[in-house]
Amino acid sequence: MESLSNKIDEVVVVEGYHDLAKLKAIYEDIDVYITNGSEVSEDTLVELKKLNESRGLLLLLDPDYQGERIRRIINDFVGPTKHAFMKKSDCINKSKTKVGIEHANKDKIVEALKDFYSVKSELENKVTLQNLYDLNLVGKHNSKALRLTLGENLGIGLNNGKTLLNKINMFNISLEQINKILRK
């Protein structure tokens, strides 16, 4: 696999050694921090907080429940970070038994690391729960399917209504972006 020399300034946070190996095979000069799976220790969080303050963090975690859980734990402890997301369908192994960044192809990983979200402390245009109701993203029989479509297109995965609202506002996703996706 040909490695890229594109410099990523932030430290990329992944779950395991296979993820690290995959990124090192793609990027020549990349700094990667491994959480060692779902049990994120206090020491790990303290180190990540220091790294976030000095270099910034870019979270690239598996598109599954544990990956989202780790993402929340880190972001809550260290403060605003950058988030790269991958579709679950792009991270499934050949036998369709495991989900992980290490199973994704190079182009999808490069795309995810170029197309990340930054957490905003100052919201430019806050989306409300009423907006989600108006868009049928909550409270309707087809809301889950619509949230799945939206999440896949935004690259943030399937979320319940409350989590979706939090992510939309955290990543400063506009109503215009949401409407554009839902009208497809």
CATH number for 11-118 (one of 1.10.260.40, 3.40.1360.10, 3.40.440.10, 3.30.70.141): it is: 3.40.1360.10
Cα 102 to Cα 62: distance, rounded to the nearest angstrom: 9
Query: Is 1 a residue whose pLDDT tops 70?
Result: no
Domain residue extents for the chain: 11-118, 129-182
Q: Tell me what pLDDT residue 88 has.
A: 87
Q: Residue 21: name the closest of 100, 90, 115, 117 by CA.
A: 100
- Strands in 82-84's sheet, in edge-to-edge order, are 32-34, 11-14, 57-60, 82-84, 117-118
DSSP string, 103-118: GS-HHHHHHHHHS-EE
Angle at 76 between CA 79 and CA 11, to 5 degrees: 55
What are the tens digits of pLDDT across the range 110-139? 988 988 877 765 556 689 999 999 999 999
Is 58 in contact with 113 (CB distance < 8 Å)?
yes
pLDDT given at position 2: 46
Q: What is the pLDDT of residues 41-74, one digit of tens each?
A: 999 999 999 999 999 999 999 988 898 889 889 9
Q: What is residue 14's predicted lDDT score, i.e. its pLDDT?
A: 94
Q: Rounded to whole angstroms, how far apart are CA atoms 133 and 140?
A: 8
Produce one character per residue of 127-148: b if its CB has 16 or more CB atoms within 10 Å, e if not.
Answer: beeebbeebebbeeeebeebbe
Residues 104 and 39: their CA atoms lie apart, in Å, by 23
Nearest to 169 by CA among 127, 131, 115, 122: 127
Question: Residue 120: what pLDDT?
Answer: 62
Computed over every residue of the chain, the mean pLDDT equals: 87
Q: Which of 150, 151, 148, 157 is nearest to 65 (CA)?
A: 157
pLDDT at 169 over 50: yes
Question: Tokens 């990124």 identify what position?
Answer: 23
| Cβ-based neighbours of 58, under 8 Å, separated by 6 or more | 8, 10, 11, 12, 13, 81, 82, 83, 84, 113, 116
SS3 73: helix
Q: What is the pTM of this model?
A: 0.75
Of residues 171 and 31, more confidence is placed in 31
Q: Which alpha helices (H) appear in 8-64, and where do they start and end?
A: 17-26, 42-54
